[in-house]
Amino acid sequence: MRGGRRVGRDGRGRRTGAATAAALVCALGTSALPAGPAYAAPGEPEPASNGARGAGSGGGRLEKVRSDVDRFYRQAESATDAYNLAREKQARQEKSILKIARAVVKAQKEMTGLRERAGALARAQYRGGGMPPEARLLLGDDPGGFLDGFTLARKGEKAAHGLMNRLEHTKAALDRYAESASREWERLDRSRAKKAAARAEITEKLARARRLESRLEAKERDRLRQLQEQRDRASQAKWLKTGILREAGGRSSGLGRRAIDFATAQIGKSYVWGAVGPDGYDCSGLTQRAWASAGRSIPRTSQEQWRLLPKVDTAHMRPGDLVIYFKDASHVGMYVGDGAIVHAPRPGRRITLAGAGSMPILGVVRPDAS
């Protein structure tokens, strides 16, 4: 087996391929990978079960439920991206405000010291009567001694002028810090509001999906899962039929293999929205942590990963690349070779392998593009 097709290690340190991992996920009952000949030879029609033939309104009703549930979970996932981005911005803004606060403390200490020095200078001038050195020359009895005093006076004036300039600049810096802090607080408030709104939307969409599912009997829920898996297999078969794997045969990089090893080691853990491990992940939390384990920092959300990471042609993707899904870039999985991805599907599901073409592909990005 080529290096680019390897996707992980088992507990004894042996390499495991996509087929072995798919068998594991099937055993868990969460796999969306096409099984057997349908995966190896795309294009064969899926055998229709009695439920699939949908005699009467029952099949149509379940398909409508499946479509609605899928839509609600996708909307929740899109809101999760908004939540994660707002949370990330909030963290950055809090750090910026802390940095400004430390600069303000430092400037205030300097201002206090400068004011004390300015006060001492003013008191010294008051004791000297505030008389200019030229007047003291006319009134003094020792012109020679005056010249020495005149030089010192000029130095004192220069020092006083420098002190006033520093006071002015420090006060201006404090004013700038105050203005910056005000702007950052406004941004922070907006980020908090966006995060709260996204959280509310996530909660509402998940509740609607779960209410729909809860109204189904156990047999109907099983059938609903079968309908989703059939849909995924059909999409995967159509994608494979394009001959994509004949071109997408590149080998993973060293960093890519490390990212794949991390991601596949998480198989079986729960999807948890907003989570970045170690016990659960959302889709972009998994890909971010996987690449972090390989030593490469990437953006937190699937939308930012799509926007900021180098894009590659789908036909030239290699294991370790990230596959971005849906028009709004609301989902991401990591390509592991052999037409498969590892991903965190949605709430209520576990991290698993799936067909890379089982969802609408927006594009592919490469975290370690050189």
CA angle 342, 296, 94 (to 5 degrees): 105
Residue with tokens 């596949």: 264
CA distance 182 to 160: 33
Tell me the pLDDT of the chain (370 aa) as tens digits.
434 444 444 433 333 444 444 433 333 333 333 333 233 333 333 333 333 333 334 567 777 877 787 788 877 888 888 888 888 888 888 888 888 888 778 777 777 777 777 677 666 666 655 545 554 544 455 555 545 554 555 555 566 666 677 777 777 777 777 777 788 788 788 888 888 888 888 888 888 888 887 787 788 878 878 888 888 999 999 999 988 888 776 788 999 999 999 999 999 999 998 889 899 999 999 999 999 999 999 999 999 999 999 999 998 999 999 999 999 899 999 999 989 999 999 888 899 999 999 999 999 999 998 6
CA distance 146 to 204: 86
Residue with tokens 């498969």: 340
Terminal Cα distance for the chain, rounded: 26
Residue with tokens 């803004």: 93
Burial of 251 (0-12, 13-18, 19+ CB in 10 A): middle
Q: How many Cα atoms sit within 13 Å of 94 on the Cβ side? A: 8
Burial of 117 (0-12, 13-18, 19+ CB in 10 A): middle
Q: How many Cα atoms sit within 13 Å of 355 on the Cβ side? A: 29
Whether cis (ω within 30° of 0) applies to the bond prior to 132 is no
> Are 321 and 365 spatial neighbours (Cβ–Cβ below 8 Å)?
yes
- Which DSSP letter does residue 36 get? T
Helices (H), strands (E): how many in the chain?
11, 10
Q: Could you give the domains of the chain?
A: 61-215 (1.10.287.620), 243-365 (3.90.1720.10)
pLDDT at 121: 63
Enzyme catalytic residues: 283, 331, 343
Strand partners, 350: 270
Q: Calculate the CA 284 to chain-centre distance.
A: 7
- CA distances from residue 113 to 109, 116, 237 in whole angstroms, order as listed: 6, 5, 75
> Are 260 and 8 spatial neighbours (Cβ–Cβ below 8 Å)?
yes
pLDDT at 56: 38
Judge if pTM exceeds 0.85. no
> Are 195 and 87 spatial neighbours (Cβ–Cβ below 8 Å)?
yes
From 60, 62, 59, 61, select the one nearest 50 (Cα to Cα).
59
pLDDT at 96: 81
